[in-house]
């Protein structure tokens, strides 16, 4: 269970990248309110304003159209970096080991999915080196793909916030 009081920016953005649940949305609203005022916080507030007024069913449909089934954007860092090549497999194995070392469970997602990677960034002060050359470019690509597909999609702001926190953590 996520404790809102201890959630850092990468963890807050990760909440928005999970399939929506009513409890998760309550936690997301509380968590965004607790973020320090910066670019990631601003983007997350824009996301919340963008989904304001959607029914829960509409939010589920928006998430699914954006990230699942036949998605507008695939939230898989390794896939964007290497497609389905051997390098992606090595990347996933290394990320999964790094996640395991800090107690992050991908919870049914592949280890190169952006959501568990953000939770991993929230759980460690020293991200594994293999993330350095690929994370920010992959998120930037996700953001560009989604903007081109649907610039008004509120998840554009979640990806912008993810890029901001990744840039901060990869310094």
Q: What is the pLDDT of residues 32-66, one digit of tens each?
A: 998 988 999 999 999 999 999 999 999 999 999 99
Residue 76: DSSP 8-state: B
Q: What is the mean pLDDT of residues 119-128?
A: 95
Backbone angles phi, psi at 89, to 5 degrees: -60, -45
Whole-number pLDDT of residue 72: 92
Give the model's confidence band at 69: pLDDT under 50 very low, under 70 low, under 90 confident, else very high.
confident
Tally Cβ neighbours within 10 Å of residue 151: 8
pLDDT reading at 3 higher than 80: no
User: Residue 164: is it exposed, middle or buried by C-beta count within 10 angstroms (0-12/13-18/19+)?
Assistant: buried
Q: What is the pLDDT of residues 15-30, one digit of tens each?
A: 999 999 999 999 999 9
Quote the Cα angle for 83-144-48, to 5°.
Answer: 115
Contact between 121 and 169 under an 8 Å Cβ cutoff? The reply is: yes
Backbone angles phi, psi at 76, to 5 degrees: -110, 110
Chain CA centroid to CA 146, Å = 14
Task: Using alpha carbons, list the distances in angstroms from residue 149 to 45, 72, 80, 92, 155.
Answer: 22, 7, 16, 27, 12
């Amino acid at each position: 269970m996520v404790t809102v009081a201890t959630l850092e920016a990468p963890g807050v953005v990760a909440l928005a990248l999970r399939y929506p649940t009513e409890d998760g949305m309550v936690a997301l609203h509380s968590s965004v309110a607790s973020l320090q005022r910066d670019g990631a916080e601003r983007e997350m507030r824009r996301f919340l304003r963008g989904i304001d007024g959607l029914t829960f069913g509409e939010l589920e449909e928006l998430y699914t159209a954006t990230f699942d089934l036949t998605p507008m954007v695939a939230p898989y860092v390794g896939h964007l970096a290497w497609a389905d090549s051997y390098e992606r497999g090595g990347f996933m194995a290394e990320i999964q080991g790094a996640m395991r070392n800090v107690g992050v469970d991908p919870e049914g997602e592949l280890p190169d999915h952006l959501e568990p990677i953000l939770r991993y960034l929230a759980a460690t002060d020293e991200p594994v080196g293999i993330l350095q050359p690929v994370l920010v470019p992959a998120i930037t690509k996700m953001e560009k793909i989604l903007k081109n597909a649907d610039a008004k999609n509120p998840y554009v702001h979640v990806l912008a916030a993810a890029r901001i926190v990744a840039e901060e953590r990869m310094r």
